[in-house]
């Protein structure tokens, strides 16, 4: 039998609220990197470096709180809750998920021509609730030059966005249910290792158990950070 969750491992309301507040910041940064700067695609990697960086900042802030405001200190379970929420938001807003999905809502109509016969071949298979088939609505999306925030455009995009949002929520819920079904077999019986969990787990440890108590870690951070900073300045 597994031990009862301790205070350090519980999910708290404040952790969820902090995660909710950080999700827009994380997604904005993520989209800037992938769509605007066209550099660094964290969602295609196993270990999401943008979330690791945010966790690192939170650990530093938490260390400050521990010294000056002990009651406000976040426990390890709370930090890992925030980390998990940001990982999910990064995956959803990533290059292989939301960024492709938004463009696919209109691409079947916008790129259809007489030559490729897309409308005749599969146009009737595309549900009206999931795609936009009005060229006048799609033109500003692909050509720009106008704002999205008008009644005409919002109403046209609202139905597909709501439908896809419901689908994604159901998809995530099903995946979570699958995890629950497999949890006992994988964790308790087979005792599988999860290497990508080691870094955030050790980052949120306290005292000598923390990865930051190792001087070699700081040397590695200084070297890799220096190289990244030099490349950024050169770029």
Of 203, 209, 186, 161, nearest in space to 74 by CA = 203
Cβ atoms of residues 109 and 120 within 8 Å = no
Distance between CA atoms of 77 and 70, rounded to whole angstroms?
Answer: 16
| pLDDT of amino acid 4 | 52
pLDDT digits (tens, 9 = 90+) for 24-59: 999 999 989 888 888 778 888 888 999 999 999 999
| pLDDT of amino acid 5 | 53
| pLDDT of amino acid 7 | 55
Tell me what percent of the residues of the chain surpass a pLDDT of 70.
96
Q: What is the mean pLDDT of residues 102-128?
A: 91
Exposure on the CB side of residue 227, measured as CA atoms within 13 A = 5
Rounded to two decimals, what is the model's pTM? 0.83
Distance between CA atoms of 51 and 81, rounded to whole angstroms?
Answer: 12
Is 206 exposed, middle or buried, given 0-12, 13-18 or 19+ CB atoms closer than 10 A?
A: middle
Cβ atoms of residues 35 and 99 within 8 Å = yes
- Helices within the chain (DSSP H only): 13-31, 49-68, 76-92, 98-110, 118-122, 135-143, 151-183, 195-203, 215-234
Find the angle CA(12)-CA(75)-CA(94) to the nearest 5 degrees: 70
Torsional sign, CA 211, 214, 216, 222: positive
pLDDT digits (tens, 9 = 90+) for 67-112: 999 999 999 999 999 999 999 999 998 878 888 898 889 999 999 9
Distance between CA atoms of 221 and 80, rounded to whole angstroms?
Answer: 21
Residue 4 φ then ψ, to 5°? -65, 145
Residue 212 has pLDDT above 90, yes or no: no
pLDDT digits (tens, 9 = 90+) for 145-200: 888 888 999 999 999 999 999 999 999 999 999 999 999 999 999 999 888 999 99
Give Cα separations from 84 to 47, 73, 75, 80, 91 (angstroms): 12, 19, 14, 6, 11
Cβ atoms of residues 217 and 211 within 8 Å = yes
Distance between CA atoms of 88 and 171, rounded to whole angstroms?
Answer: 13
């Amino acid at each position: 039998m597994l031990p009862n969750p301790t205070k350090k491992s519980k999910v708290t309301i404040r952790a969820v609220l902090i995660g909710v507040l950080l999700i827009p910041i994380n997604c904005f940064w993520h989209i800037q990197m992938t769509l605007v700067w066209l550099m660094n695609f964290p969602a295609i990697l196993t270990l999401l470096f943008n979330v690791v960086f945010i966790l690192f900042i939170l650990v530093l802030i938490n260390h400050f709180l521990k010294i000056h405001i002990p009651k406000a200190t976040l426990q390890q379970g709370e930090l890992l809750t925030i980390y998990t929420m940001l990982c999910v938001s990064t995956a959803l807003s990533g290059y292989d998920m939301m960024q492709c999905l938004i463009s696919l809502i209109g691409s079947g109509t916008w790129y259809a021509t007489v030559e490729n016969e897309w409308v005749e071949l599969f146009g009737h298979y595309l549900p009206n609730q999931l795609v936009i088939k009005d060229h006048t609505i799609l033109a500003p999306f692909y050509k720009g030059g106008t704002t999205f925030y008008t009644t005409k455009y919002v109403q046209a995009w609202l139905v597909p966005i709501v439908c896809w949002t419901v689908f994604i929520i159901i998809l995530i819920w099903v995946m979570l249910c699958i995890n629950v079904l497999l949890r006992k077999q994988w964790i308790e019986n087979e005792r599988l290792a999860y290497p990508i969990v080691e870094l955030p787990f050790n980052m949120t440890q306290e005292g000598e158990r923390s990865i930051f108590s190792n001087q070699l870690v700081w040397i590695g951070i200084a070297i890799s950070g220096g190289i990244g900073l030099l490349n950024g300045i050169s770029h």
